[in-house]
Structure 1
Amino acid sequence: MLRNFAWSSVIILGGRAPHTPAVRASSVPAVGAFWQDQHNFEDRFVARALPGFLLLGLFRRTTRSVTGSLFVVVEGVGVGALAHYVVVGELGVELRVSSFGAVSLLRDMFWGPEHGLRFAQEQASTDRWRLESMCEGVACIDTVQRTLVVQSLYGCGLPLPVRRVYLAMLTATWPGWSVRWAPRGLFDVLEHVCLDPEIVRDSPGADPLPADWDLAADDSINTVVSVRTEAGELFFYGAGNSALLPDLLEVGPDGVLAGALRRPELAPTVFPMSGLHLDLGRRAGGYWTADTLGHPVDDPEWPGWMLTCWYDRYEEQLARTDRALKLPEPVAAEQIRQFLNQGDQPAVRDEMLAKAWAVLE
């Protein structure tokens, strides 16, 4: 992620892409960034570019199962929601890639092993792993160990409680398989196939916190920050998209505590993407996220502090805040139904849905 951005000219072509969640700044490394607000699908866009660069964004249908994919052209280079597909068989590892596959990856993998394997093998073959900051989704289908490993940043459009229900349903459509989420994205898949994750690591760095990072409205809180003082009192910060979890971890406790708006309780109306809890008396804390746990989130360096990664276990923060932190309860069935009704519908749809909905009965 580039530092010291200057605002530049931006042209947005075409209309809104329905049901298209956020594209992170890391999707456009070394040039600029363009993303949609991740909490809803309204026409809210932010674009940053270096002075003298022109960044164009437009929507286009590019693969059979993607409706309203986001396509960004930066100095003539197409950058989309890139996904890797990894197929492990008796003869070795097949590596494939789709420039826009991350948008629909969780839906494409939902319809069972035969459909998922066929879909993955229809994607473009490649012998080059993309950097983790460019890869926004990954599916690893290990036919030897009968294991499916999935992750997509576009799954962040499903709040964590909903994503858990989705994974339970996915297990039903992949009977006899071990199904798991990859919290560290491409890193987890590389470790699964016995390769060094360092080959895809880059270091985009975090953005400096803006002065108003903690002034997010209740309907646009991205990260919930809770602080227990040495006297045992609690207060909260609500961080919007201008202060993502990596940014908060980067500035350390002093930077976080410099926030201006300390709230006695917090009740976001949209389920947040991440959370951070600090206990000043114990100099300890923890964090959780629905996002990918890549650099620098998985190894924050806070001298004298003990920080614990809770992965997606947001309940850890709730347990430490005496119920003063109130998170909404999403309606999982309805959100998953809307999610699965998007895009192309395979022939096995009704059969797989019958298996999946049985999980909720």
Structure 2
Amino acid sequence: MGNRANLVIVENGQWQLYYAHWAGCRMLDALAFGPEHALRYIKAHRLCARDHWTDPLWADGGAVVDVDRRKLLFFGDELMSTMSERRAILEVIPLMWPDYSVGWAYGGTDELATYVGAERRWSLGRDGQPPKLARGRDGLCQLVSVVGADGRVRLWPLFWGYSVAWLGPSLRHALPGKGVGRTRREMIPESGVHIDVPKQQVGAWVTTEARGLGDFMSSRWSGWHAEFWEDRYEEQMRRCDGALRVPELDVSAGVTEALNWLQKRVFQSFEDSPAGAIVKMMGLFSEAGLPQPEFSSNDVLSSPLQPDWASWNRFEAACGQVREIYTRSA
């Protein structure tokens, strides 16, 4: 098990590939605190041969830090699937990387490999995922909306995963049940697909990586006008004309939630954190009846996987700056 990530540093015209076994779902631990911390974090992981990429099917995250061209390109982290936190983080990170352009890699590992010109040993794209209805209204979902031949909208909240837009036009016939005419979600969905049958138009958006869906939309939906909306859920909301209701986007609250969650995750003992690993190891010694090694807080706080306090303070200040902008505009 693990949350694998491909991490790349481009410097002095050359690129190096690193493998991280647990970073895929917590990429912000590496990237939220600026380039100096990110480079230290990446270099603390295993250096690989340039053709030893983790297959995209197993990679939950990844990043390219291009020091030469001052560019950060990444995907991954559970916080990036909830919209208020996502939009907040995408405004905070550029403040922490002031000389860099920052981009989300919607193409996932494919896009990172293409960026550095790596030879891919896997096929592009992916197969369609059979649709499955989500339960309840209070969790993340993938929302499919269809304008039928009668001009009416029907909605299907689906179990979330990679986009069902990969199914192409067959998606219309694979949707479970008859859908509903109106729905209200307690959370903004993590992705969506909107199909307009009379206009032969389709649009898709995601908050995760999409394995190049934007490039494949036209071929998957041959004969349709296909658009990829990146993470702009508002496009689907507008086309549903009031049939889909979601909470109002709250970037200020998203800043607070992301800050609090990262503080807990980075500095406390989650199982996949450095502190958590030490706690787990201590437990194994105890269960075996062996003398426990002595550890101090410095064994965790000096880890290259954690930001120093100066970097953390800059991150807090950047969060405060973004929160103040949205608090004033509220």
Which interval holds the TM-score relative to the shorter structure? 0.7 to 0.9
Return the offset for 1:133: 1.3
| Amino acid in the other structure paired with 2:195 | L
Q: Higher helix share goes to which structure?
A: 2
Amino acid at match of 2:92: M
Identity percentage over the alignment? 24
| Residue aligning to 2:19 | 97
Instruction: Report the 3-state secondary structure (helix = DSSP H, G, I; strand = E; otherwise coil) of the residue aligned with 1:172.
Output: helix
Q: Which whole-Å CA distance do the structure 1 matches of 2:134 and 2:98 have between them?
A: 46
- Closer, same or farther in 2 for the Cα pair 1:205/1:248, shift >3 Å? closer
Change beyond 3 A, Cα 1:207–1:359? closer
- 1:99 to 1:244, Cα distance in 2 relative to 1, 3 A: closer
Question: What letter matches 2:118 in structure 1?
Answer: L
Following superposition, the deviation at residue 356 of structure 1 comes to 3.5
Deviation at 1:310, TM superposition (A): 1.3
Match of 1:252 in 2: 170
Per the alignment, do residues 87 and 295 of structure 1 end up closer, same or farther by CA in structure 2, a change over 3 Å counting? Answer: closer
The residue that corresponds to 1:223 in the other structure is 142
Describe the shift of the 1:189–1:204 C-alpha distance in structure 2 as closer, same or farther (beyond 3 A).
closer
- The within-5 A match list for 1:292-303 is 292-294=209-211, 299-300=216-217, 301-303=220-222
- Do residues 126 (structure 1) and 39 (structure 2) align? no
1:308 aligns with 2:308: no
Offset of residue 315 of structure 1? 1.1
Q: Work out whether residues 221 and 239 of structure 1, in 8 Å CA contact, stay in contact via their aligned partners in 2.
A: no
Give the corresponding residue for 1:360: 323
Higher relative contact order (CA 8 A, sep 6+): 2
Q: Which has the higher strand share?
A: 1
Alignment of 1:1-361 (within 5 A): 72=1, 80-127=2-49, 128-156=52-80, 158-196=81-119, 198-201=120-123, 205-209=127-131, 213-214=132-133, 216-220=135-139, 222-241=141-160, 245-246=163-164, 249=167, 252-256=170-174, 258-294=175-211, 299-300=216-217, 301-329=220-248, 330=250, 331-341=253-263, 342-344=265-267, 346-347=307-308, 348=310, 349-361=312-324
Aligned partners of 1:82 and 1:98 also within 8 Å: yes
Code of the aligned partner of 2:317: A
Aligned counterparts of 1:89 and 1:307: Cα–Cα separation in 2: 37
Q: Which amino acid aligns with 1:276?
A: V
Q: Which has the larger radius of gyration?
A: 2
Normalising by structure 1, we get a TM-score of 0.69
- Which letter does structure 1 place at the counterpart of 2:208? D
Distance 1:297 1:149, change over 3 A: closer
Kept after mapping to 1: 8 A contact 2:9/2:67 = yes
Q: Alignment length, in residue pairs?
A: 276
Quote how far apart the aligned CAs of 1:359 are: 2.5
Amino acid at match of 1:255: H
- RMSD after superposition: 2.4
Q: Flag as ranges the 4+ runs of structure 1 deviating above 4 A.
A: 295-298
Q: Aligned AA for 1:315?
A: E
